[in-house]
Chains A and B, each alone.
Chain A
Amino acid sequence: MTSNRYHIVPECVLRQLGDKYLLLVYPSDEDDSYALQINESFAFLLEKILNQPSFTEEEVSSLLTSQYDLSEEEARAESEKTLALWLNNGLIQLL
């Protein structure tokens, strides 16, 4: 099975305060910057992949299984859903 590789498109900053997480996204045009309040699992994934040049769906899936009590199948479904969401929101791009 060939796995797609993705990379994060804009500049992103992850901020945490207590149990709250904020993702600040800065596209090349700073005027279009936006902030998203995200949950802990989303923050965990982002923290792991933010500094990587690229990543695959399998890598995201295995990050989820290593951190949460999820079966491989559940993790795969979750990572598929998450990556589709990020792709639709312009946060990541297929390499």
Chain B
Amino acid sequence: MISLPQQCLYDLLRIALQLPRKERYRERLEALSPTQWQSLFRLSHEHLLSALVYDALTQLGDAVELPEEGSIQLMLDADRISRKARQVYRMSEKLNSDLLNNGFHHQILKGSTVASMYPKAELRAAGDIDLYIPSYEQTRLRPFLAKHYGEEKMAPDGSYHFRADEIEIDLHTRFYDLSLNPALLPEIGTPEAQILMLSSHILKHALGAGVGLRQLCDLAMANRQLSSRYNAARLEAYYRSTGTYRWNRMLHSLIRERLGEQSGVSATLEPARFASLERIVFEGGNFGHYAPSRKAQLRKSPAVRKADTLFRHIRRFPFALYYAPREYSAYLWQLFKGNISR
């Protein structure tokens, strides 16, 4: 059972994302008390959804009476998100075209690509640019990025990052957050690959510190856009072969029921209960950063943060064992290696 502010947040997301509106949404919004409006605004902030919520409220116009408190902060949040998003997506486009012109076989991952599938890209909060490059091209790409996109830095996990105009570019040599041999997964660049990549990314975070609604909106938007170009049965087969079928049934059920997105596999997969995933989503907002206990740990040293991340993975044991045991063991092993290697 979810709270009225949570229900209303879903209602507003459906409006902003142009997904089918759920009946009686106006009545629910009208029933919100000033305190519940504050909760809704806080949720929007914690899930980086303020720009979408603001957009939905402007679409509703005078139909909804807003409280005195919180509206100004929402407008500030929305503007901050849209400004940053425009900046990131501009750079992402430039990066994409520079790399294409120089013959790289790259992919811009996650947000920067999915944003273009939103009704308005600037409503989707953006942070870094995630860039995938096949490992055989990494040696050629790194000096190129260092020359044109700022100084190279190596993260403790061995990955490379570049920073230009306050925007970080993270280099990845793995496309999927899955442990299976990539040769057994959909070919990179196909619609199936895009959906599987997003779903496995959500899984990775859900099995750790947490995942927010923004990532679920990403999957909903990508699925709506790509469903006519992929084969739902084939994608379902990939869900089975990667051992994430149960996970994906739950994930798509949540998207279908709460956001109203019901195309492609969201329509064909058998419905499943999703309360346990929804609890994870609401316990800590964007990537779990707003869970009170996590917030305190994030301010501490890298060693404490790593230990906290490991602890959060261990806490997911029963959930993970049921929904994605193979991936869970792989993530735990990676974390364990990361913790003992330094």
Interface residues of A (CB under 8 A from B): 13, 15-18, 20, 22, 24, 26, 35, 37
- Given A17-B57, A17-B66, A18-B66, the answer on whether A24 and B79 have CB atoms closer than 8 Å is yes
Query: How far does the alpha carbon of A54 sit from the alpha carbon of B303 in the complex, in Å?
Result: 56
The total of chain B residues at the interface (CB under 8 A) is: 15
Find out whether the CB atom of B62 lies under 8 angstroms from the CB atom of A18: yes
Closest to B70 in A: A17
Q: Chain A residues with Cβ under 8 A from B62's Cβ?
A: 18
Most A CB atoms within 10 A — which of B62, B64, B72? B72
Q: Chain A residues with Cβ under 8 A from B57's Cβ?
A: 17-18
SS class, residues of chain B in contact with chain A: helix
Find out whether the CB atom of B76 lies under 8 angstroms from the CB atom of A17: no
Could you give, for residues 52-79 of chain B, a 1 whenever the CB lies within 8 Å of some chain A CB and a 0 otherwise? 0010011000101110000110111011
Find A15's partner among B64, B65, B66, B75 (CB 8 Å cutoff).
B75
Q: Chain B residues with Cβ under 8 A from A22's Cβ?
A: 72, 75-76
Q: Chain A residues with Cβ under 8 A from B65's Cβ?
A: 18
In whole Å, how far is B115's beta carbon from the nearest beta carbon of chain A? 19
Query: How far does the alpha carbon of A35 sit from the alpha carbon of B65 in the complex, in Å?
Result: 23
Closest to B57 in A: A17
Find out whether the CB atom of A20 lies under 8 angstroms from the CB atom of B79: no
Query: How far does the alpha carbon of A57 sit from the alpha carbon of B293 in the complex, in Å?
Result: 56
24 examples of A-B residue contacts, CB within 8 angstroms: A13-B79, A15-B78, A15-B79, A16-B58, A17-B54, A17-B57, A17-B58, A17-B66, A17-B71, A17-B74, A18-B62, A18-B64, A18-B65, A18-B66, A18-B71, A20-B71, A20-B75, A22-B75, A24-B75, A24-B76, A24-B79, A26-B83, A35-B72, A35-B76
Q: Chain B residues with Cβ under 8 A from A24's Cβ?
A: 75-76, 79
Q: Chain A residues with Cβ under 8 A from B75's Cβ?
A: 15, 17, 20, 22, 24
Q: Chain A residues with Cβ under 8 A from B78's Cβ?
A: 15
Closest to B67 in A: A18
Closest to B62 in A: A18
Query: How far does the alpha carbon of A17 sit from the alpha carbon of B51 in the complex, in Å?
Result: 12
In whole Å, how far is B320's beta carbon from the nearest beta carbon of chain A? 41
In whole Å, how far is A17's beta carbon from the nearest beta carbon of chain B? 5
Query: How far does the alpha carbon of A35 sit from the alpha carbon of B64 in the complex, in Å?
Result: 24
Query: How far does the alpha carbon of A15 sit from the alpha carbon of B79 in the complex, in Å?
Result: 8
Most B CB atoms within 10 A — which of A17, A20, A35? A17
Could you give, for residues 72-90 of chain B, a 1 whenever the CB lies within 8 Å of some chain A CB and a 0 otherwise? 1011101100010000000
In whole Å, how far is B112's beta carbon from the nearest beta carbon of chain A? 21
